[in-house]
């Protein structure tokens, strides 16, 4: 399983919090690439709820990861 920004971006608008099955269903219905569905299927399913993309891909970059001054814009 590997994630890229492009693949993870297909889950940004998912109905969080969600279970593994709900995320797979969302990915299929929203027309996400097959790689997204395959990555979700590889997650360990312990019946847990995922709160966001960061729970699935801990290295997902957040707003804090970008070095720009928001006050300048």
Can you tell me the distance from the alpha carbon of 44 to that of 29, in angstroms, rounded to the nearest whole number? 22
Helices 34-41 and 20-29, axial angle in degrees (round to 10): 170
Neighbours of 63 (CB within 10 A): 7
Over residues 28-65, the pLDDT tens digits come to 999 999 999 999 999 987 888 999 999 998 888 765 55
Query: pTM above the 0.75 mark?
Result: yes
8-state DSSP, 53 = H
């Amino acid at each position: 399983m590997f994630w890229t920004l492009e693949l993870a971006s297909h889950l940004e608008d998912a109905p969080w919090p969600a279970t593994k099955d709900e995320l797979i269903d969302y990915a299929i219905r929203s027309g996400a690439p097959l790689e997204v569905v395959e990555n979700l299927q590889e997650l360990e399913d312990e019946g847990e709820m995922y709160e966001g993309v960061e729970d699935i891909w801990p290295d997902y970059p957040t707003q804090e990861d970008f070095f720009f001054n928001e006050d300048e814009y």
